[in-house]
Structure 1
Amino acid sequence: MPYKIQKSQPFTISDLRKLEKKEKQTSRQRRITAVRMVMEGYTMVDVAAILGMHRQSVASYIKKFKEHALEGLLTRKQIPGKKPYVTKLQQGELKQLILNTTSAELHFGQEAFWNTRNIQYVIKEKFAICMSREGIRKMLHRMNFSYTNATYVLKKANKEK
């Protein structure tokens, strides 16, 4: 026996079909398709078999759609993941340090540029955090820093030229 979605929903089958075509993300498109097919009279088991998903997934999509309409169907919880070693506040402090000073000013040798080895030392001394150089490189990339080759200025032999 097909599972019926109440007619009190503001979306019709044709509305959902239009939304399916407009949606760019396939995962969201499949959710809309599953709800539309159930509204058309397919059973949840049939929809799951046709779309290649588990029956329980179809049931959860229907439940979300009934409770929160399209907004509830399309929103997904963000998976938290592992917490970063360096907090946002510390990253901001590190970013200002990198932007406003050179590694030579902090006595890391004569190099006037920052590299992951110098930043690794700063993080260890300032925040007491041990990070790999690859982890630092990825963190810098997330902070919108990019790698550039160091340039230097040669002493000119003739100042007039």
Structure 2
Amino acid sequence: MKRLKITNDHGWTPRTLRKEERKIKNISLRQRVIAVRLVMEGYLGKDVASMLNLCRQSVAFYVSLFNEGGLDLLLDRKYPPGREPFLTPEQQQELKQTILTHTPAELGWDIASSWNTRILQSYIREHYGVDMSREGIRKLLHRM
């Protein structure tokens, strides 16, 4: 197996990388910096992988990213965009205001004096034409 090398250090030293890794809160991104620093210090890729509980190919990938674009490219994560929300931001804001300012009884939805996911599920279906699960509504309320 070929030994991993840092071909372009982009001005970083093991000491400056150690300082930088302490600032990083995201564990997976911190592991990337640690892997590159350990290779820079002379450890073999398979030893670094073993120490950090990563696969050897991941360590090699991190080193190649660092060689290509430095710390900026190493820490650049492309997250998938995720699912489109059921309600637009405007609808979410309108729903929030409705929940905060009115009771279900005032709007003719129930005799209840407070909202619950069952009542909200009916309200959202009728008012916005969107079918949401009660768990999805609970998560939406938590985010709001």
TM-score bracket for this pair, using the shorter chain length: 0.7 to 0.9
Q: How does 1:10-159 map to 2 (within 5 A)?
A: 10-143=11-144
Q: Relative contact order: is structure 1 or structure 2 higher (C-alpha 8 Å, sep ≥ 6)?
A: 2
- Asked if the contact 2:105/2:112 (under 8 Å) is kept, the reply is yes
C-alpha distance in structure 2 between counterparts of 1:29 and 1:9, whole Å: 18
Over aligned residues, Cα RMSD in angstroms?
2.3
**Percent of aligned pairs sharing the same letter:** 50
Corresponding residue pairs, total? 143
C-alpha distance in structure 1 between counterparts of 2:69 and 2:90, whole Å: 36
C-alpha distance in structure 1 between counterparts of 2:142 and 2:29, whole Å: 29
Specify the SS of the correspondent of 1:141.
helix
Specify the SS of the correspondent of 1:82.
coil
- Asked if the contact 2:65/2:73 (under 8 Å) is kept, the reply is yes
Q: Which has the larger radius of gyration?
A: 1
Tell me the CA shift for residue 106 of structure 1.
1.2
Tell me the CA shift for residue 60 of structure 1.
1.7
C-alpha distance in structure 2 between counterparts of 1:77 and 1:64, whole Å: 13
Tell me the CA shift for residue 35 of structure 1.
0.4
Tell me the CA shift for residue 54 of structure 1.
1.4
- Asked if the contact 1:65/1:72 (under 8 Å) is kept, the reply is yes
C-alpha distance in structure 2 between counterparts of 1:99 and 1:68, whole Å: 49
- Asked if the contact 1:2/1:42 (under 8 Å) is kept, the reply is no
Specify the SS of the correspondent of 2:3.
coil
Tell me the CA shift for residue 12 of structure 1.
0.6
Where structure 1 has 5 or more consecutive residues not aligned to the other structure, the ranges are 144-161
Tell me the CA shift for residue 22 of structure 1.
4.4
Tell me the CA shift for residue 95 of structure 1.
1.5
Assess, with a 3 A threshold, how the Cα gap between structure 1 residues 78 and 8 changes in structure 2: closer, same or farther. Answer: closer
The one-character-per-residue Cα deviations of 1:111-132 (angstroms, maximum 9, x if unpaired) are 3322222211111112222222
